[in-house]
Structure 1
Amino acid sequence: MIRSFGLIAFIGVSLMAAPSHAQTFDPRYPICMHVYSGANGGGGEWYDCSFISLPQCRATASGRAATCDLNPYYPFNAAPPRPRHWRSG
């Protein structure tokens, strides 16, 4: 009886755990806008990683509760792709 109660309690606690969130940073773009909607907006906060420059992001964030940050998942130090040389013949 005690074992079954313990098992039920364990399953109940496991189901109440907070769900994990997917990655919110798009690695294709170097700049992300962090938007805060707060308690009045009701939507929480989120990242919009669709900007290629800080001025572009700042223009979009102007007048909003938002900040622009560097994307931590963008490969800034990645080597450029090697040029491909095609042989004719």
Structure 2
Amino acid sequence: MRALIGTILVMGMMAATSAVQAQTYDPRYPVCVQVATIDGTSIGCGYGTLAQCQASASGRGAQCFANPYYAHANKKASRRANQRHQSLNW
């Protein structure tokens, strides 16, 4: 029983020390930054413009990029909107 408890504790400690920082793509923001540190890389989205992100990334090991999960990206017009548009352009 003690060996089982010891094994569980060791496994839990190993998992806690090797935990990776979560990379979040917040769909509310169009621009993200990837920061490289000695511990690895992390991604955070919270910038409204590329210029804001670049100002924050300046002087650090960081790179800005477009958020692939941005909620307003690539929204297609509805079929009805397309039909209205086509009817106006004879």
Does residue 27 in structure 1 map to residue 41 in structure 2?
no
Structure 2's unaligned 5+ residue stretches are 1-18, 78-90
Partner of 2:61: 65
TM-score by length of 2: 0.56
Distance 2:70 2:43 in 1: 14
Please report how far the alpha carbon of residue 77 of structure 1 lies from its aligned counterpart in structure 2 after TM superposition: 1.8
Aligned residues: 76
Alpha-carbon spacing, 1:79–1:47, altered in 2? closer, same or farther (3 Å):
same
More helix by share: 2
Give the percent of matched residue pairs that are identical in Structure 1 and Structure 2. 47
Please report how far the alpha carbon of residue 21 of structure 1 lies from its aligned counterpart in structure 2 after TM superposition: 7.8
Structure 1's unaligned 5+ residue stretches are 1-18, 81-89
Partner of 2:75: 78
Q: Deviations over 1:1-25 (max 9, x none)?
A: xxxxxxxxxxxxxxxxxx8986621
RMSD between aligned residues: 3.4
